[in-house]
Amino acid sequence: MEIGVVQDVPLWGMISSASLVVKLVMALLLGVSLISWWHIFVKLYLLMRSKSRARAFEEEFWNGAEMNKLAQRIAASQGDGGQMERIFEAGFREYTKLKNQPGADPADIAGSSRRAMSATYQREMDVLESNMAWLATVGSVSPYVGLFGTVWGIMSVFRSLGNIGQATLANVAPGISETLIATAMGLFAAIPATVAYNHFSRDIDQLGTRFESFMEEFVNILQRQAYKR
């Protein structure tokens, strides 16, 4: 007895023959995936640029660059510098404003500079962490959205089988194959978003620690200079 072989259906053919709800789920997941990839490439560029500029600024600063000239160069860049440069500029600007005031306490000067840098630090970290919630949401929710499309499609397949006297694998397999594409698309959207989120979270934490270490060391330098004035 020969067993009939069902001809392979192209992927686009399976998508086009899916039910309306499953098509909407697939379109949603495709759009979410494209937006996620855009955020991934933008964030990757931002973090690479941030790490490179932080490294270059640290080398310049700790190699004995004059702080006045360094602050002037950063101010002239009109915000085009790196995060660490802007943190330094905020602290040094506050220090310069207070150091010549008569009777100013060195500890107060250092504390005010620390607060100015902390405020700039928080703003810079907010920029680095932007769109991270999107990646986390896509990574956690997309598989369930794809699964919803698959479950809905399978329900439609079994409802349609009610009009058939005898259900066979040949009747069921094409419909189920179409609906499983929704699950695959959910995973396709979720996996890159999750991997990117974990990678970027680690890089952002490392940059945050780097900024905080610089702030502490710079505050100590400013406090020593304040006592010498």
For residues 111, 116, 122 and 125, what is the CA-based torsion angle, rounded to 10 degrees? -110
Residue-range domain boundaries for the chain:
24-61+83-228
What percent of the chain clears pLDDT 70, i.e. is strictly above it? 80
- Per the prediction, the chain carries an average pLDDT of 83
Q: Is 92 within 8 Å of 171 (Cβ atoms)?
A: no
**Two structure tokens written together for 57:** 């600024």
| Measured distance CA(182)–CA(28) in Å, rounded | 10
The yes-or-no verdict on residue 97 having pLDDT over 80 is yes
Q: Which residues contact 225 (CB under 8 A, 6 or more apart)?
A: 95, 99
| Measured distance CA(177)–CA(17) in Å, rounded | 11
Q: Per-residue b/e over 21-30, b at no fewer than 16 CB within 10 Å?
A: bbbebbebbe
The yes-or-no verdict on residue 5 having pLDDT over 90 is no
pLDDT band for position 206 (50/70/90)? Answer: very high
Q: Summarize pLDDT for 149-202 with one digit per residue, the tens.
A: 888 877 776 666 655 555 555 556 656 777 788 888 899 999 999 999 999 999
Question: Which string of DSSP letters, residue by residue, matches 110-132?
Answer: HHHHHHHHHHHHHHHHHHHTTTH
pLDDT band for position 3 (50/70/90)? Answer: very low
The yes-or-no verdict on residue 79 having pLDDT over 90 is no
